[in-house]
Amino acid sequence: MLRSAIGRISAVALQILPLTNVVYAIDLDVEDQASIKNAASEATYGMMTYYHGNETGAIPGAFPAYWWEGSILFLALLNYWHYFQDDTYNEELSIGLQWQGGDNGDYLPSNYSQWLGNDDQMFWGVAAMTAAEYGFPDRPTGYSWLGLAQGVFNSQKTPPEGWDPTTCGGGLRWQRTPIQGDGYLLKNSVSNGGFFQLAARLAVYTNNHEYADWAIKTWKWAMKVNVLDKTTWNVADSTNAQNGCSDIDHTEWTYNYGAWMTGAAYMYVYTKDDQWLEAVKGLLKALFKTFAFPQNGNVLSDWSCEVREDCNRNNILFKGITSQWLATIALLIPELEDDILQKLQLSAKGAAKSCSGKGSNVCGIRWYGGYDGKPGMEAQISASNVFSAIMLKYVDKKKAKPLTSETGGNSTSDPKAGTDNNPKDKDNSLPTYAPITTADKAGAGIMTAAMVSSVVGMGAFMLVGS
C-alpha cells in the first residue's frame, strides 16, 4: 500500500458535511443477535455509501486512489453475508471481487500494477480465498474464487517480483519493482505473513502439500530474520533488504500479528501439530498484551497512530481486519473462543459508542472514548468487521467454519492461475448487474443524500491529491 497515504481527508469531509439535529448512535447489546445484526447493517450501509463501482459507467471494485482498500471492503461484505445471511450486497460484491482479478486472474490488474505492493495483491487473494471458504458461489463465467487465490499464490511465489531469494535468504519485498521507491527496499511483515496465511489456507482447502511447503518456508524465513520472535511472539513491521535484513522496524500494528497468527491456525488445522497451536497461543497473548489496554476498556487499538491521531487510511483498517481473523481463528480452534470472544465483544461495544458521529451513526477511528470526529469509509469498514465478528457466538459453528474441498467447498480449482501458461482465459466483458430484488435492504435511514454527494466530491479530491 502507499506509504504516503493521506490522513487528513476525513477532517476535510467533516467540515463540509451538514450536521443533522437528530441525536443517534449505534445501540449494541452484544448478547442480543438482532441488536448485533442491526449494528452491523448500519455500519455496512454507511460503508457502502462510499462504493460507486456498481453505478452506470463505473468500474466494478475499482478504488483508484487506494486500490487495496477495495479488498477489505469486499472482505467486510463477505463477513456480513456469512455471519448474518443477508445477501443485500452480494451482487456488487461478486462482480467487483471478480473484476479486479485483472487480465491474468492474479489481482495485478494493469490499471494499477505499476504501483501496487505484494501486500495489496495478497489482500485481494485473501478476500477471494475467504469467498471460497464461505461457499460464496463462483460466478457462472470468468475466474473462480479459488482460482483467484491460486493466481495470487502463484504470482507471489515467483521471483523476482514475488519471493526474492537474492537478499536475506528469501522473503517477499513490500513493493514489487524497484521503480516503486522505498518500499522495494523493505521486506515487510504483512506481505510475508499474508503470503504465509494464503498458502496455509490453500493447503487446508485443497489438501495439496505444495502450499503447506511454501507456508513453512515463509514462516521459517520470518523467524530467521527476526520478523517473528519465538520467545516474546513480538511481530516486527519490516526489515531492510539492503542491509541483509539486519535492521528491524518494530512499529506495532495489529494486522501484522493477525496475518501470522491466522496462518498458524490454518497450519494447525492442516498438520494437527501442537507446535502450531503453541504459536497461535503465543501470538494471541502477545496481540492482546500489545494492543488492548485496561485504561481503554481492553478494546483493540492501533495505538501507534491512534494516540497521536495521525492514522493514515491504511492504518484505520488494521484492527477491523484483525477482528475478523480472530473470529476465524475461534472457528478453527474452539478452545480459543472464550478468550477471543471476550476481547471482541469489548471492542464491538467500544466501536458502537464510537459510531455516534454527526449527530447520527457515523463511525470514528478509535474504539474507545466515543466518536473521535474522524469519519470515513475505513472507519465504517472496521466497525462492520468487528460487529459481524461477534456473531461468532451465535452461528452454527459447523456451518460457519471455513469450508474445504472435502467439506462442501466447491469453488473451481485452477492450479495454474496467474501463470503465463494458464490455459484459462478470462471472459473479458463487463458483467451486468442483476435487478435488485431484495426487499429487506439493510439501512440506517438517516444517512442523508447530502452525505452521499459529499463523498463523491471527496473521491474527486482524492484523485487530484494523490
Ligand X SMILES: *[C@@H]1O[C@H](CO)[C@@H](O)[C@H](O)[C@H]1NC(C)=O
Interface residue list for ligand X (CB under 6 A): 48, 54-55, 59, 62, 89, 92, 99-100, 102, 109, 111, 135, 137, 410, 433
Q: How far is the CB of 109 from ligand X (least distance, A)?
A: 4
Nearer to ligand X, 141 or 275 (CB): 141
Closest separation between CB of residue 383 and ligand X, Å?
17
Closer to ligand X by CB, 373 or 459: give it: 459
User: Quick one: 373 or 443, whose CB is closer to ligand X?
Assistant: 443
CB of 404 to ligand X, least distance (A): 13
Choice between 64 and 244, CB closer to ligand X? 64
Min separation Cβ 403 and ligand X, Å:
8
Question: Going by C-beta distance under 8 Å and a sequence separation of 6 or more, which residues neighbour residue 391?
Answer: 33, 36, 37, 40, 83, 84
The least distance separating ligand X from the CB of residue 92, rounded to whole angstroms, comes to 5
For ligand X, the closer of residues 102 and 171 by Cβ is 102
Considering the complex, what minimum distance in angstroms separates the CB of residue 48 from ligand X?
Answer: 4
Q: Which residues contact 57 (CB under 8 A, 6 or more apart)?
A: none
**Is residue 235 a contact partner of residue 191, using CB atoms and an 8 Å limit?**
no
User: Among residues 54 and 167, whose Cβ is nearest to ligand X?
Assistant: 54
- Least separation in angstroms between residue 241's CB and ligand X is 30
**Residue 7 vs 376, nearer CB to ligand X:** 376
